[in-house]
Amino acid sequence: MALAREEAFGRAALKRSLTAIDRGLAIRGAGITAFLLVVLLVCPLAGNAWTKTFTGAAIYAVVAASLGILYGRVGMISLGQIGMLVVATWIGARLSFASSMPFPVLLLVTGLVTMVVGVIVGLPALRLSGLYLALITLMFAGAVTVIINKWQFPNGGHGLIGHLSALNVQDIQTVRRPSSFGNDDDYFRYVVIVCVILFAVALAHVSGKPGRAWKAIRESETAALATGINITLYKMWAFALASFMVGVAGCLYAAQLAQPSAQSFATQDSITLLATALIGGIYSFWGAVVAGVFAQVVPYLFTAQGLWGWTTDANIITIIFGVGLLQVLLTAPGGLAQQFPKDMANLGRLIWRLAGRLRPRPA
Amino acid sequence: MHSLAMLAFGRVGWTDLKPFIPLGFAFGGIYALAGVGMVVLYRATGVLNLSFGAIGTAGALISWWFINHTGVPDVIAYLIAVAFGGVVTLLYGLLFGPAFAARPPLVKTMATLGLALVLVGLMGHLAPPLNASPRFLHLPSSDWRYRISGAIVNWTEIIAFLFAIVLTFGTAAYLRFTKLGTAMRALANDREISATLGVPVRRVEAAAWLGSGLVCGAAGLLLADQLNTLDPNTLTFNFIIAALAAAVLGRLRFLWATLAGGLVIGLVQSLLNAYFSWPNFDQSLSAYRTVTPFVIATTGLLWLGRRRVITVARSGN
Amino acid sequence: MRSKKTPVGVALAAGIVAVAIAAFVAGPAATSPKLGMGTATTAKCGLGTGKKATGKPILLEGIFTLVPGIDFTTIGKLAQAYFNCVNDNGGINGQRIVYKLYTEQLKPDQIAALAKKIIEQDHAVGVVGNTSLLDCPVNHKYYESKGAYLIIAGVPGECFGTPNIAAVNMGPRYSNMGAADAMIKLGHVKGTLVVSSPSAGGIAAYANGGPCLVAKAAGLKCISDAEDLPLSDTNATILKLVQEAGDGGGVIMDYTAETATALLQAAGQQGVVDKVVWGQSTPVANEATAKVGSANGFDGKIYIGQEFNNLATGKPDETLMEQLSHKIGLPAQAFGQMGYLVGKFVTNALLSVKGPITFKSYNAAAVALKNQKTDILCKPWYFWKLKNHLPNNTLPTATYKNGKVVINRPCAPVPAVDPLVLQARAAEKKFHLNTG
C-alpha cells in the first residue's frame, strides 16, 4: 500500500519534472529559432562586406566551440586550433580541386581527414597533464605556419601541393562553393545552417554518454579510472570530435575565402582564439557564438568599417583581448555567456526593486 | 672513414657544417636561458610564463629607444632592459600571483597569455614598422670576433652559451644550498604546507618572479642582437616556442635537462641550414628547420611518457 | 598713481597694432611660388596655377595592406599628398580630388568585399594606387568584369600579368633580373647564382624565376631559395646562402629593408662579404641601409636593381616628390616615388578627359595613357590595352659608397629572356608607347 503510494508520488513527480523540462526546452528552443531567423534573414541585408564578416564569425564560432569541448568539457587546452583550421582549409581546398564530389560530401571527407590528423597530433600528450598538451599544441601551431608558408594553399595546380605561382595567373582557380549557393548571401546562409548542424552534433555528444564521461574526467581522473571509464579513449574521442568540427569549418572557410592565402593566418591567431573563446564563455555554446562575433565582427567594426567614422588599429584590439582574457580568468571563468545573463538578471531585480519603491504603498 | 662520416652526416661535409656550430650553441644557449628561467618560475609558483618572449622584446625595444633617442650610455640602456624584464615580471607576479594562487597550473599559464597579448599589442602600436630605416640593437660584444677553425665566433655568442651554463649551475646550486632556494623547492612541492611551516611564501614567490624576469630581460637583449631584428612578432612567438620545447624536455623540473634540451634544439636547427640540397633543392630539410623544436619536443615527450598510465592532477601547484 | 604696468601695456598694444598693419599691408604672400606651381627645378602638380580648387569632388579610392610588420599605406599617403597639391593648384579644371585609403588585413574575402564596396557602393570614379599583397590575385577578374583600369604599385605577379592592371614599378622578379644582369656583366659571377626571397604568398617561385632565367642564359647554375619571414637566424641564413653559391658565386637577396639590413649586418659579422658577388632588389636603395651596408664592407660589392632613378638627383619630379614627402613627415624612399608616380599619372589621365569625369571616362583615359615622361623612371610610362603590363622594364643598378647610394650602371633594359618582357617590348615598338 505504502509502496503504491510512493510509486504514484514518484510518477507524479516525474511527470512534473518532464513538463518542467519541456517548458525550459521550449523557451530555449524558441530563443534559438528566433536568433537563427534574425541571422539568416537580416544579416545579409547589411551589405557584402558585412555578410562576409558574419560568415567568418559563424565559422570561427564553430572553432571556438571545438575549443569549448576540449577545455570546457574535458579540461584539455589546445593552443593550436587555428593550426588545425589551417590544415583543414588546406585539405578542403586540395580535395575540392582534386575531385568533383558534391559539396556536402566534401565537407564530410574534410572533417574526417582532419579528425585523423587531430587525433595524431594530440596523441603524444594525451597521457600527460593538460599543460603539456597546451605546449605541444602551441608548437604544432608554429609548425603549421612554417609548413603552410612553404606549401601555400592549392589553387588548381597538380601534384600533392597543387599551388600555381603568379606566372600562371590565367590558370589559377578559386575553391568552389556548393552549386546554387554560389553568391555571398546564399553561401552565408548555407554556412550558418552547417554550423548549426555542427553545434547540434556537439550538443548531442555533450548531453550523451561521452559528455558524462568527459565530466567525470574533468572532475578527477583517478575517480573516473576507478569507475571503469577508459580515459584515453574518451580523451581521444573529444579530440576527434573537436578536430572533425574544425575540419568541416575549414572546408567552409576555404570556399568562403575562394583563394585562401597563407598570409591570412598567423601563429598569434591561435592565442587570440583562446582569448576570445574564454571571453565569450568556454562552458556554453552561446559563448562560442559570442567568441565568433568578438574575433571577427569587432575587429572589422573598429579597423576597416569604423564606428561613426572612428577607427583604431588592430593592435588596440589585441590589447583589449589580452585584458579581457585576464579579466575573464580572474573574475568570471564562464565568460560573457555566463556573466551577461547574470548581470541582466541582477539588473532586472534592481529595476524591480526600484519600481517597487516607487509604487504607492497601501495606506 | 671519410665516406662513413659523409654517410653519417647525410652527404653534407664537415666543413659545410662547421660554421653553423657556434651559431647553434649561441641560439641553443639563449633558448636554454629562457627555458631555465621558465622552469625555475614554474617550480616556485606553478606558473609557466608564456609572456617572457614579449617582455624580453619590450625590454630590448626600450633599450633601443634609450640608445637612439637619449644620451644615456649604452651600458645603462642594457641594464634598463634587464631591469625592465625583472620589474614587469615582478609586478605581474605581485598583482596576479595571489589571485591565481589556488587555480590549476593551466589557468595560471593562460593568464600569462593575456599579458603577452597586451604587450604585443602595445609594442605594435607604439613601435610600428619603420619601412625605410628599421630598428636594430647591436651589442658591442658582437664586434669582437675570432676565427676558430673555419667558423667565426663572436663574443655575444660565447656570452650566451656561457651564461646559460652558469645560470643553470648557479640556479641548481642556489636551490639546493641556500635558504631561499630550499624555500622555493618547498613551495614547488606543496604551497599550503610550506606556508604552514613558516616559509615566507609571498616573499619567496616574489624572488622567483624577479629572478626569472631579469633572465628574461637579458635573453631578450641577446636574442635581439643574434637575430638582428627588433620586430615584436619575430622575437615574441618564434622565440617562445623553442624555449618551451627546452622546458618540456626538462619535464618542467630538471634544470640540466632543460639546458641540454635547449642546446640540442639550437644546434640541430642551426645545422639543418647546411642541408639545403637534401633531399632536393625544392623540398630541402633546411626549409623546414624551424619545425625542429616541435619535432624534438614531441619525440621527447613520447619517449619520456611511454610508461605513464594516468595523470594525477595536483591542486594549487 | 601711475602703475608700472601701464608703459608695458602701451608697448604691447602698439606692437599688436604694428603687426596687424604689417600683415594687412604685406598682402598675400606671393614672393615665392607655392608647392606645386613649378619652378626651374621642381615639377608642377597638375595645372600648377597656385589657385585652390573648389569644384565638384572626384572620388578616388585605393586598397593597402596594413598588418603588424607590413605597412604599404606610405604609398597611398604620398599619392594623397600629390592629389592635395593638385587641388591647391587648380585641381582638375576646377574640380578637386578626394582620395580615400582603405586598409586590408590579408583576408581574401574582405579584400573582395572592399573592391565591390569601392565600385558598387562608394561609386568611386577610379580605383587607384592599390598596394596590397592580395588585391591583384583576388580581385583582378572583378576589375576586368567592371571595366576598371588600375594604376597601382604592384607586388605579387598578378599585378603584372593581367589586362586591367598597370604598375608604376616592376616588382621583385624584374628588379632581381636587373640585379642579376649587372652582377653577371659587371661583377663577373661564376658558377652558381642563388636567389633568396620571402616565402610569403608563394612569391618566391615567381620572384626567383626571373633572375634564374638570366643566369641560365649566361650558362650559370641557379638555386631558388625561399625563407620564412620573420627570419629566425639571420647569421645562419647568410652562411647558408654563401655556401649554396660557392666561392665566386652570386647571391641575390630579395627582401624589404627590415630583413635585408639584418642580412647585410650578418654578412659583415660572419666575414663572408668578399666570398660572393651580392645583389638586391629595390627596397634597400636608401641612405639608412646604405650606412649599414658601407659599415659592413659592401661598398662596390653589391648590385641593387633599382626600379626607379636615384633619390636626390635634383631633377624636377624627384625634387617635388621629396618636398611632398617632407610636407607629410616621411623620409624620401622608393615607396614615396611609387606614390608620387601614381598621383602624377592618374592626374594626367583625369586632365586628359574631355567632358564630364565619370567612372567610364576616367578609366578610358587611364588605359589610353602613353609616353608619360618623368625623371623618376628610365623610360616613359604607359598603360594601353594589352594582355599584360610591364611598362617599367628599364632600370639602373646602384651600389653603396661611403654610406650613400650611387648608380654604378645607368638605365639598362631588363634582359629579354622573360615572356612578359618580350611581349612588353613588342607592344612598345608596335604602338610607340614609350618613345618619349
Quick check: B132 and C331 CB within 8 A?
yes
Quick check: C271 and B129 CB within 8 A?
no
Substitution target in B17, B130, B133 with the highest count of C β-carbons within 10 Å is: B133
A151-155, B52-56, B80-84: which has the highest mean pLDDT? B80-84
* A110 pLDDT more than 80: yes
Is pTM beyond 0.90? Reply is no
Of C239, C271, C333, which is closest to B131 when you measure between CB atoms?
Answer: C333
Dump pLDDT digits (tens) for C403-419: 999 999 999 999 999 99
**Residue C2 pLDDT level (bands cut at 50, 70, 90):** very low
- CA nearest C199 in B: which residue? B287
Quick check: C109 and A258 CB within 8 A?
yes
Q: Strand B145-148 to strand B151-154: parallel, antiparallel, or no bridges (unpaired)?
A: antiparallel
How many Cβ atoms from other residues are within 10 Å of residue A8's Cβ? 10
Count of residues in chain B: 317
Substitution target in A55, A149, A170 with the highest count of C β-carbons within 10 Å is: A149
* A145 pLDDT more than 80: yes
Q: Strand C277-280 to strand C302-305: parallel, antiparallel, or no bridges (unpaired)?
A: parallel
Q: What integer best gives the mean pLDDT of chain C?
A: 89
**Residue C23 pLDDT level (bands cut at 50, 70, 90):** very low
Tell me the chain A residues in contact with residue B290 when contact means C-beta distances shorter than 8 Å.
Answer: 142, 146
Please give the pLDDT value at position B306: 63
Tell me the chain A residues in contact with residue B302 when contact means C-beta distances shorter than 8 Å.
Answer: 124
Put simply, the chain A residues between 78 and 137 with a CB less than 8 A from any chain B CB are: 124-125, 127-132, 134-136
* B33 pLDDT more than 60: yes
Dump pLDDT digits (tens) for B85-114: 999 999 999 999 888 888 888 888 889 999
Q: Which domains, from first to last, does chain C contain?
A: 58-170+310-392 (3.40.50.2300), 173-305 (3.40.50.2300)
Quick check: A169 and C137 CB within 8 A?
yes
Domain housing B241 = 10-127+140-304
Average pLDDT over residues C257-265: 86
Tell me the chain B residues in contact with residue A143 when contact means C-beta distances shorter than 8 Å.
Answer: 291, 294-295
**Residue C372 pLDDT level (bands cut at 50, 70, 90):** very high
Is residue B248 one of the residues assigned to a domain?
A: yes
CATH of the domain at B203: 1.10.3470
Put simply, the chain A residues between 204 and 233 with a CB less than 8 A from any chain B CB are: 220-222, 225, 231
Of A49, A145, A263, which is closest to C106 when you measure between CB atoms?
Answer: A263
Q: What integer best gives the mean pLDDT of chain A?
A: 86
Dump pLDDT digits (tens) for C79-111: 999 999 999 999 999 999 999 999 888 889 889
Of C236, C239, C257, which is closest to B134 when you measure between CB atoms?
Answer: C257
* C359 pLDDT more than 90: yes
Please give the pLDDT value at position C3: 46
Please give the pLDDT value at position C27: 43
Quick check: A132 and B244 CB within 8 A?
no
Percent of chain C with pLDDT over 90: 67
Tell me the chain A residues in contact with residue C172 when contact means C-beta distances shorter than 8 Å.
Answer: none
Please give the pLDDT value at position B71: 86
Strand partners, C152: C167
| Count of the separate structural domains present in chain B | 1
Q: What is the 3-state secondary structure (H, E, C) of chain C?
A: CCCCHHHHHHHHHHHHHHHHHHHHHHCCCCCCCCCCECCCCCCECCCCCCCCCCCCCEEEEEEEEEECCEECHHHHHHHHHHHHHHHCCCCECCECEEEEEEEECCCHHHHHHHHHHHHHHCCCCEEECCECCCHHHHHHHHHHHHCCCEEECCCCHHHCCCCCEEECCCHHHHHHHHHHHHHHHCCCCCCEEEEEEECHHHHHHHHHHHHHHHHHHCCCEEEEEEECCCCCCHHHHHHHHHHHHCCCCEEEECCCHHHHHHHHHHHHHHCCCCCCEEEECHHHCCHHHHHHHHHCCCCCCEEEECCCCCCCCCCHHHHHHHHHHHHCCCCCCHHHHHHHHHHHHHHHHHHCCCCCCCHHHHHHHHHCCCCECCCCCCCCECCCCCCCCCCCCEEEEEEEECCEEEEEEEEEECCCCCHHHHHHHHHHHHHCCCCC
Dump pLDDT digits (tens) for A151-194: 889 888 888 888 888 778 888 888 888 888 888 889 999 999 99
**Residue C172 pLDDT level (bands cut at 50, 70, 90):** very high
Give the least confident one: B9-13, B246-250, C209-213.
Answer: B9-13
Please give the pLDDT value at position C78: 95
**Residue A219 pLDDT level (bands cut at 50, 70, 90):** confident
* A24 pLDDT more than 60: yes
- CA nearest A318 in C: which residue? C68
Q: CB-based contact (8 Å) between C121 and chain A?
A: yes
Size of interface A-B (CB pairs under 8 A): 154
* B236 pLDDT more than 60: yes
**Residue B317 pLDDT level (bands cut at 50, 70, 90):** very low
- Selected residue with higher pLDDT from B175 and C193: C193
A130-144, B104-118, B234-248: which has the highest mean pLDDT? B104-118
* A21 pLDDT more than 90: no
Dump pLDDT digits (tens) for A55-103: 999 999 999 999 999 988 888 888 889 999 999 999 999 999 998 899 9
Dump pLDDT digits (tens) for A280-333: 988 888 899 999 998 888 888 877 666 666 667 788 888 999 999 999 998 877
Please give the pLDDT value at position B246: 92
Please give the pLDDT value at position A285: 87
Using an 8 Å Cβ cutoff, are C299 and C278 in contact? Answer: no
Percent of chain A with pLDDT over 90: 31
Dump pLDDT digits (tens) for B256-308: 999 999 999 999 999 998 887 777 777 778 888 888 988 898 888 777 766 55
Please give the pLDDT value at position B6: 55
Is residue B286 one of the residues assigned to a domain?
A: yes
**Residue B149 pLDDT level (bands cut at 50, 70, 90):** low
Please give the pLDDT value at position B1: 46
Substitution target in B228, B233, B271 with the highest count of C β-carbons within 10 Å is: B228
**Residue C205 pLDDT level (bands cut at 50, 70, 90):** confident
Q: How far apart, in whole angstroms, are the C-alpha atoms of residue C50 and residue A336?
A: 58
Size of interface B-C (CB pairs under 8 A): 110
Please give the pLDDT value at position B26: 86
* C10 pLDDT more than 70: no
Average pLDDT over residues C350-356: 94
**Residue B315 pLDDT level (bands cut at 50, 70, 90):** very low
Please give the pLDDT value at position C16: 55
Tell me the chain C residues in contact with residue A47 when contact means C-beta distances shorter than 8 Å.
Answer: 117, 121
Quick check: C265 and B138 CB within 8 A?
yes
Domain ranges in chain A are 44-266
Quick check: A314 and C133 CB within 8 A?
no
Quick check: A259 and C108 CB within 8 A?
yes
